[in-house]
Amino acid sequence: MAAPQNLAPGVYRMDAFRFSNFISVLLLENDDGWTLVDTGVDGSVGRIEETLAILGSGPRDLKRIFITHQHDDHTGGLKGLLEWAPHAEVGASEHEAKVISGELPYDPSGNRFVRYMARNAEPPGVPVARTLDEGDMVSGFRVISTPGHTPGHVSLLRDADGLLFTADAFGCLPRKPRVGVIKALCTDPPMAKRSAQKLLREDFATVVLAHGPVMRSGGREKLQRAIDRCRY
């Protein structure tokens, strides 16, 4: 397993799946331990545990888990990680928290085929201890509401150095960046485009996608081209 990618002081990106840049999660270092942003799929649990071990940490050091949105490639490892680190505080936006906890069902895709394939899927059913709103902070990162991919989807920006984690507001599957990763996976594609345009108004330098390679230069131009291509 590859070592985590150190993006900036206190910020590490790791591959939550065996294919490079297919599913990324972040580990944010705090004075009291670590914050994990998203949990990958069910099979990501062991990889996350190994990555924390590489960083010299164990289950007691995982203090917080923040979920950007409800989809199971971001929440799939949540139950397993809480079995390993049961004290970790789970956070999400208000709407996504209701889905993750099972209070609400998954929000359906706007695509008929995707809705059919996901018809029997159930949320993790994990209580969320902390709900966060636009402007709240997650280990030095500011929460930016970017609905459309899901109704409560959020992105994160560290204003101190312009490090932006778009989550699925943008994504590269399979190659070039697209708004909302793929239209079929968005609950509201036009809203996803408006959220993408909102992110472009922020001051950022490095772009980290949940799906796709890190953009250390030219990220703004690449994301703008994705918006220009978008026909949602």
Judged by phi (left if over 0) then psi (alpha if -120 to 50, else beta), residue 186 lies in beta
Q: Which two tokens stand for residue 47?
A: 């990889």
**Could you give the 3-state DSSP secondary structure of residue 205?**
coil
Q: Output 101-107 pairs: Cβ under 8 A, ≥24 positions apart.
A: 101/125, 101/126, 101/127, 101/128, 102/126, 106/70, 107/70, 107/150, 107/151, 107/187
| pTM value surpassing 0.95 | yes
Confidence (pLDDT) at 175: 82
Digits of tens for pLDDT over the chain (232 positions)? Answer: 778 999 999 999 999 999 899 999 999 999 999 999 999 999 999 999 999 999 999 999 999 999 999 999 999 999 999 999 999 999 999 999 999 999 999 999 988 999 988 888 899 999 999 999 999 999 999 999 999 999 999 999 999 999 999 999 999 987 899 999 999 999 999 999 999 999 999 999 999 999 999 999 999 999 999 999 999 9
Residue 84: φ, ψ to 5°: -80, -40
What's 59's DSSP letter?
Answer: G
Confidence (pLDDT) at 184: 94
Strands 206-209 and 163-167: parallel
Domains and CATH numbers, the chain: 5-229 (3.60.15.10)
Judged by phi (left if over 0) then psi (alpha if -120 to 50, else beta), residue 33 lies in left
